[in-house]
Structure formats: C-alpha cells, structure tokens
C-alpha cells in the first residue's frame, strides 16, 4: 500500500469516526437539554470512540465498502439511548423532533465547516498537509452522505422519527398508526432500496450538495 493510499485510508477512517460518533452524541446532548439524562448517566456523551463502536456499522460495513471499491463509505455508531417520554414531557413533540434531527444537523454543519476550510489546504506540500486535505474532503463527503441518508423518511432513520413526531404533534393519528405498522419492516425496506437502482435517485442530493459546498 502506497503512502497516498495509507493517507487516504486513515483520513477516511477518522472522518467517518468523527461523523458518526458526533452524530450520536448530538442526539444525546439535545435530549439532555430537554431533561433526559439517560445518555449522560450511561457515559454516552463521551467522545471516547470505544464506547460508541458498533461492530457492524462502525467496523464491518465501512471495511467492506472500502475494500470492495465502493464509490462511497458510510456506517453508523451504537445508538445513544434516549428516553423519548422525558423529552416529550419537557419539550413536547417539537423537542422529540429536535432530538431526531440533531445528528443530521451536526453532519451538515460539520460538512459546511470542513468545506470552508478545504481551500486553505487544497494544495498540500507535505504528507501531513495531504492528510489534512484528505481529511477535510472526506469529512465533507461523508457528512453530506450521512445527513442525506438519515433524512430519508424510512424507519429506523432519523427522518422517519422526525416525521412520526410531527404527525403526532399535529394530531395525524391515522398516519402514526400506519407508521407503527410499517416500522418493524423498515430495515427490510431500507436494504431493498439500498441495493436497487432506486438508491441512486435518493442519493442524488449528495452530489448536488457536495458540488455546491466545494
């Protein structure tokens, strides 16, 4: 493996870790602001990556995507525990929506910050400079990818949770009941979409946003 390949791999691993761990911590942090101490009491607001590692989402899937030559890499960390009842009691369904969208918001903000910094290091003159350039670029790509992906209104993704709490707050009870019937099959639906041409259409905004940011 060449120096360039090692730098690229390390930057992708670090960018993915920062993206997915920060995503989960933000869910717990916003829930904490609404009085839910579950994540904090279990030590899940820590930036220690070891307590957030999911064997499949953090290790296996990203490795398979990388070594199979996939055009993108993404994954997930171990979900931060949230007591939604406490959040809704203190902040209503709007509080639950805020918790649901906290990780996505983090990803898009981080992507924007990295995109703003990227021109400063886009022509590196050292290996360390190349690592920073790769890290910023990969951070833009991975965070936009995660942000768009999690916006899909398919359980168990964050976008679906936000829509569910919005419907509950608006009194759309028939929709909530439909959601609860569909939710157990969400993962099957999600994988069916990911491994069919339909995914290319749902991921189209990723390229548009990245092109706009960079």
Which positions are annotated as active-site residues?
A: 24
Classify residue 128 by burial, with Cβ atoms within 10 Å: 0-12, 13-18, 19+. exposed
Q: Which of 82, 70, 87, 81 is nearest to 145 (CA)?
A: 70
Please state, in angstroms and rounded to a whole number, the distance separating the CA atoms of residues 176 and 195: 28
Residue 139 to residue 143: CA distance in whole angstroms: 6
Task: Give the whole-angstrom CA distance, residue 207 versus residue 54.
Answer: 27
């Amino acid at each position: 493996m060449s120096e360039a390949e090692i730098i690229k791999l390390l930057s992708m691993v670090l960018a993915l870790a920062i993206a997915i761990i920060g995503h989960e911590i933000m869910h717990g942090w916003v829930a904490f602001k609404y009085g839910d101490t579950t994540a904090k009491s279990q030590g899940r607001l820590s930036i220690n990556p070891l307590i957030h590692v999911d064997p499949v989402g953090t290790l296996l899937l990203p490795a398979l995507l990388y070594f199979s030559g996939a055009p993108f890499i993404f994954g997930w960390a171990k979900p931060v525990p949230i007591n939604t009842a406490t959040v809704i009691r203190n902040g209503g369904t709007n509080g639950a929506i805020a918790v649901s969208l906290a990780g996505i918001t983090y990803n898009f903000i981080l992507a924007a910050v990295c995109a703003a910094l990227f021109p400063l290091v886009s022509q590196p003159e050292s290996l360390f400079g190349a690592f920073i350039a790769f890290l910023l670029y990969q951070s833009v790509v991975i965070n936009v990818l995660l942000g768009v992906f999690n916006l899909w209104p398919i359980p168990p993704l964050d976008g679906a949770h936000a829509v569910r709490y919005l419907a509950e707050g608006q009194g759309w009870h028939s929709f909530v009941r439909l959601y609860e019937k569909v939710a157990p099959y969400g993962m099957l639906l999600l994988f069916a979409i990911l491994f069919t041409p339909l995914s290319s259409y749902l991921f189209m905004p990723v390229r548009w946003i990245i092109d706009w940011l960079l």
